[in-house]
A = this chain, B = another copy of it.
Amino acid sequence: MSTFEKELKNVKSCSSEFILAVNDTLNVLNGKWKLPIIGTLLFGKKRFREMERCIPNITARMLSKELKELELNGMVKRTVYDTIPVCIEYELTKSGKSLTLVLDSMAVWGLRHRKIAMTSEKA
């Protein structure tokens, strides 16, 4: 029995804890911009402006706010370089990178479900 399976068994033994744990994950991803932000950082460090250009329609205000939240949640690491003008880089932490496992399963489910919905086999 893998570590993953053991953890899972422990979680499912109490459904409310299960819900809480899933909610924790949902909260990290919630809002309109968290996902695109994490998405762009999956390919490596980026600067603020760079991210603003990468993510369609995001405003500086939103980018700033979301990055701050992600930093508080320990998903993103912010590094300031004392150049002139200052250069600030954002990158995913270990926790942030580990989200890819979750994101992958969500992506696969999303695609499968879209196919099912399109062929209207809804049951």
Residues of A at under 8 Å CB distance from B?
Answer: 4, 7-8, 11-12, 15, 18-26, 28-30, 35-36, 39, 42-43, 73-74, 77, 93-95, 98-99, 101-114, 116-117, 122-123
Interface of chain A: mostly helix, strand, loop or mixed = helix
Separation of A14 and B17 alpha carbons in the complex (Å) = 35
Contact B93 A102, beta carbon cutoff 8 Å? no
Residues B122 and A22 in contact, CB atoms below 8 Å apart: no
| CB pair A22 B123 closer than 8 Å | no
Contact yes or no, B74 A117, CB < 8 A: yes
Closest to A101 in B: B105
Task: Give bound CA distance, A43 to B15, whole Å.
Answer: 10
